[in-house]
A = this chain, B = another copy of it.
Amino acid sequence: MVVVVRTTKRLPRAERERQMMDAAVQVFGRRGYRGASMDEVAELAGVSKPLVYLYLKSKEDLFTACIRREAQALTRAVRAGVRRDLPPDRQLWEGLRAFFRHTADHPDGWTVLHVQARTHGEPFAAEVAALRAELVSFVTQLTVVAARAAHRDPDLPEREVAGLAEALVGAAESLAAWANATEGVCAREAAATLMNFAWAGLDNLMAGRPWTPPADQD
């Protein structure tokens, strides 16, 4: 079969859309929603502007699509990073590592989720809220299971557990942005900092009794 390769390759729609969204995430992440121009997105994606509109409808829709995609990728990465047969602290540790690894590998995507999406009215905030809910539920489950497994009833009302989970996720989010922006901070270090903070508490940290991350192979 002979295939004539034109300089302007015809790609299947899904592939083209992926290219555009890759470009869009980069541009939105670096310039912000308002600062991003559809011209730049189109150019970076290597397609013409009308094509972007044909496939993705509008700037707002494009942004929403980016958020949704990046949020899914992140939750998937976190879930995939955890092995349910380990003890709770190891599970949390691995979840955090997966989280920080992913945000470090996709800094623009993370910026879009963490910084840009929150600055722009309802439609975008809803997407991000869903992401956060997902993560919070993950942590909550972990905590409750951990308590039960240890036959300790912390006597924490469900509401307080939810609050703690919120706090942890918020801390993780902030730390991820900070780690991305700060030279020389690797994902592992960020995870360890937060793990220590969350697990042992400041008091234990200061007492020289940090939580000890397990030795593993990455």
Instruction: Give me the interface of A with B, judged by CB distance under 8 Å.
Output: 31-35, 89, 92, 115-116, 118-120, 132, 143, 146-147, 150, 152-156, 159-160, 162-164, 166-175, 177-179, 181-182, 184-185, 189-190, 193-194, 196-208, 210-211
Contacts and interface: CB of A to CB of B under 8 A. Distances in A.
A172 B170 CA distance: 7
A153 B181 CA distance: 27
Contacts of A172: 167, 170
Contacts of A153: 208
A189 B190 CA distance: 28
Contacts of A206: 143, 146-147, 150, 152, 154, 156
Q: How many copies does the complex hold?
A: 4
A207 B32 contact: no
A164 B119 contact: no
Contacts of A204: 200-201, 203-204
Nearest to A169: B174
B208 A143 contact: no
Contacts of A199: 201-203
A203 B200 contact: yes
Contacts of A118: 115, 177, 181
What are the 9 closest A-B residue pairs judged by CB atoms, nearest first? A170-B174, A201-B201, A34-B34, A167-B171, A171-B171, A163-B193, A166-B178, A200-B201, A32-B119
